[in-house]
Amino acid sequence: ITYYLLKNEVYKIRFTSLALSTYSFTINPDNVENEISLCTAKTGNIAYKKDKLCYKFIPSETAIYFFEASGEMYPTIALSDGNENSIKFADNIKYEQSNVLSCELTANQIYFIKIGSQTGIPGSVRVYTKKVKVTMSGNNLTITGKADTQSGVRGGLAIYSSDGELVRISQFNTSS
């Protein structure tokens, strides 16, 4: 007999033969063993309705990080700190096959990224992490990042004011 059980839930098993025995157990999260790195894709499977894939992430510097999840099961993304306190959630209410969550993270702190299914259907999911760092010095704004784009690719940048008005558009070539 095979059953899928949720992590962090307490279950009891009762065995019967000549005497009744009861055992309690908890399925512990597998956060520690499943680490995700910058610009490295991880693929996993959502096996049942409330299943979650959980990845540990420790940023090397304080910056804005992007977590992208794509899969046929319409992925949701939850970000929590090392104590499992919720920081941010991308719910995927549009039922799209890809979803992105971005957040500024502090260097050398532990974070957990949990991927679920918006529809509750099982399926495979690919998770990818990118980084962007924004610094200002006087009137100069510097944006640096790490993505999966090769050197010499043409890119674009649009800057908007706080009320959504387009301020500037710029093009650039990527470098390694």
For residue 16, pLDDT beyond 70: no
For residue 28, pLDDT beyond 60: no
What percentage of the chain carries pLDDT values higher than 70? 70
For residue 172, pLDDT beyond 50: yes
For residue 158, pLDDT beyond 60: yes
Mean per-residue pLDDT for 17-43?
A: 67
Residue 169, both tokens: 């558009």
Per the model's pLDDT, the better-predicted residue between 96 and 136 turns out to be 96
Residue 107 — very low, low, confident or very high, per pLDDT cuts 50/70/90? very high
Contacts of 75 (CB under 8 A, 6+ apart): 69, 92, 97, 98, 99, 115, 116, 117, 118, 125
For the full predicted model, state whether its pTM sits above 0.85: no
Q: What is the pLDDT of residues 61-103, one digit of tens each?
A: 888 888 999 998 889 999 999 888 999 998 888 878 888 898 8
Is 121:73 a contact under the CB 8 Å cutoff? yes
What percentage of the chain carries pLDDT values higher than 90? 16
Is 75:116 a contact under the CB 8 Å cutoff? yes
For residue 30, pLDDT beyond 50: no
